[in-house]
Amino acid sequence: MRVAVIGTGRMGSRHAANLASGAVPGAQLAAICDIDPSVRAKAESKWGVKTFADHRELIDSGAADAVVVATPHYSHVEICSHAIEAGVHTLVEKPISVTAQSARQLIDVAHRHGDVIFGIVYNQRTNPLYARAKALVGSGQLGEIVRADFTVTDWYRSQFYYDMNGWRASWSGEGGGTLINQCVHQLDLLQWILGMPSEVTCKCRTVGRHISTENDVTALFGYDGFDCSFRASTHELPGVNRLEIAGTKGLLTVTRGMLTAKLLKMDESEINARSKRDYGNKEDKKYRTVRKFYGIDNYLFDWRMGQQCKVLRAFVRAAERHDPSLLVARGEEGMGALSMINAMNFSDWSGGKVSLPVDEGAYADALAAKIKEEMNGKAGISK
Ligand SMILES: NC(=O)c1ccc[n+]([C@@H]2O[C@H](COP(=O)([O-])OP(=O)(O)OC[C@H]3O[C@@H](n4cnc5c(N)ncnc54)[C@H](O)[C@@H]3O)[C@@H](O)[C@H]2O)c1
């Protein structure tokens, strides 16, 4: 399969390198497209492939059966729509778009071209620890969920990172900050494992960086029967990464590299009903412990090719076999986390609780106002 990469900056060049080196069975790097001439010149000398300055020229040339879109967020809808309409299989980098409203337009295009494979790079889903967490919750082994907490403060980003490219951490260039860039992964995991929340209250801050968007987030998601706290930042050191889900039959924890599940023999409601002691019967409270490790093979794979390569391999298999069920995540699954992010921004701006699904039109209008404010120099803050 001839695969082209559109946008060969930090992430796109990794996809291109994996395709060029044969790390993706059945696929070869066919061409690259980038608006930056110096990036094109580098790609040409490194991989010896044809280069394009405009995605339409690349797609319409027929040089590729599939494309990977790794450009800044605002361009995803236009580029992916053009590719899908031309019958070219499309893998989009996260996030699917900046607003749920514009993402819906792209998903509509994809639905009208059901024979074209459309996937999204949600590489955190390839982490077997999160897959096991999903299986434990889905199979009911944890019982009814009573609490969830996700804290991710170990994805550090320096001022240098933000200064590398003008589009980063701005409302006009990126459509947000740490929420839309980094947290989109963890918010996708939350909705993948627990389903979509019905409401959110969120507070964002900008800490220690000269950027106009957030790099510190505290949110509380409301689910039917429980709440889930979400804490994320990209300025803290050394930081922590911990997902905790408590159910009536046990507790699971995923930290970097390890999942631990403590599974009770019976449901807490039964333990409570049987108990003739104030702190419950000691015997009834016994649990068995299940552990799973990320494993050296996965660490080595990530180091050599990046977790994203697993998503690309699955995409190529799905396109070869015309089977979207082989994808790590279908393009339309990009909507869940994006809708959560739009609602979180909305809550931060209004200072109140926001219901989900988010009012897509109202959010698009509010973002346009935020961009105007940024252009007028009012949104640049660093506390
Ligand atoms: N899955 C992951 O873990 C992961 C990690 C990093 C970045 N990303 C995503 O990858 C995408 C790119 O991020 P990055 O860090 O590589 O950015 P980057 O700025 O390093 O690279 C973007 C490239 O796109 C080019 N470009 C911009 N507009 C274009 C257009 N219209 N047509 C063709 N080329 C265009 C730029 O010249 C640049 O070379 C973003 O969506 C980002 O969120 C994903």
Lay out the sheet containing 118-121: strands in order across. Answer: 50-52, 28-33, 2-6, 66-69, 89-93, 118-121
Per-residue burial over 262-289, b if 16 or more Cβ lie within 10 Å, else e, is bbbeeebeebeeeeeeeeeeeebeeeee
Ranges of each domain in the chain: 2-123+302-330, 128-293+337-375
Check pocket membership of 73 for ligand 1, CB cut-off 6 A: yes
- The secondary structure of residue 330, as a DSSP letter, is B
**Ligand 1, residues 34, 42, 54, 71: which to mutate, most atoms within 8 A of Cβ?**
71
Which residues lie below 8 Å from residue 378, measured CB to CB, with a gap of 6+?
none
Which residues lie below 8 Å from residue 118, measured CB to CB, with a gap of 6+?
80, 84, 89, 90, 91, 92, 110, 324, 330, 331, 332
DSSP-assigned letters across all residues of 233-298: ESS-SS--EEEEEEETTEEEEEETTEEEEEEESS-HHHHHHH--STT--TTTT-EEEEEEE--HHH
Q: What is the pTM of this model?
A: 0.96
- Whose CA is closest to atom 15 on ligand 1? 10
Check pocket membership of 72 for ligand 1, CB cut-off 6 A: yes
CA dihedral 7, 11, 14, 19 (to 10 degrees): -50
Amino acid letter, residue 365: D
Check pocket membership of 165 for ligand 1, CB cut-off 6 A: yes
pLDDT of residue 381: 47
How distant is the alpha carbon of residue 305 from its chain centre? Answer: 19
Which residues lie below 8 Å from residue 274, measured CB to CB, with a gap of 6+?
281, 284
Check pocket membership of 214 for ligand 1, CB cut-off 6 A: no
What are the φ/ψ torsions at residue 371 (nearest 5 degrees)?
Answer: -65, -40
For residue 151, count other CB atoms closer than 10 A to its CB. 18
The reply to whether 128-293+337-375 shares the fold of 2-123+302-330 is no
pLDDT of residue 9: 96
d(CA 4, CA 65): 8
d(CA 184, CA 234): 13
| CA-closest candidate to residue 371, choices 175, 99, 163, 181 | 175
List per-block mean pLDDT (blocks of 10 residues) for the chain, which spans 383 residues. Answer: 98 98 98 98 96 98 98 98 98 98 98 98 98 98 98 97 93 97 98 98 98 97 98 98 98 98 97 94 96 97 97 98 98 98 97 96 96 80 42
Check pocket membership of 121 for ligand 1, CB cut-off 6 A: yes
- The secondary structure of residue 8, as a DSSP letter, is -
Which residues lie below 8 Å from residue 351, measured CB to CB, with a gap of 6+?
none
How distant is the alpha carbon of residue 255 from its chain centre? Answer: 18
Check pocket membership of 328 for ligand 1, CB cut-off 6 A: no
User: Does the domain spanning 128-293+337-375 belong to CATH 3.30.360.10?
Assistant: yes
What are the φ/ψ torsions at residue 18 (nearest 5 degrees)?
Answer: -65, -40
For residue 115, count other CB atoms closer than 10 A to its CB. 7
d(CA 79, CA 34): 12
* CATH architecture assigned to 2-123+302-330: 3-Layer(aba) Sandwich (3.40)
Q: Identify the H or E element spanning 166.
A: none
- Whose CA is closest to atom 4 on ligand 1? 11
Q: Identify the H or E element spanning 369.
A: helix 360-375
- Whose CA is closest to atom 10 on ligand 1? 70
Distance (Å) from CA 256 to ligand 1 centroid: 26
User: Which atom of ligand 1 lies nearest, measured to the CA of 78?
Assistant: 31
pLDDT of residue 383: 35
d(CA 118, CA 102): 16
Residue 87 near residue 113 (C-beta atoms within 8 A): yes
What are the φ/ψ torsions at residue 50 (nearest 5 degrees)?
Answer: -70, 140
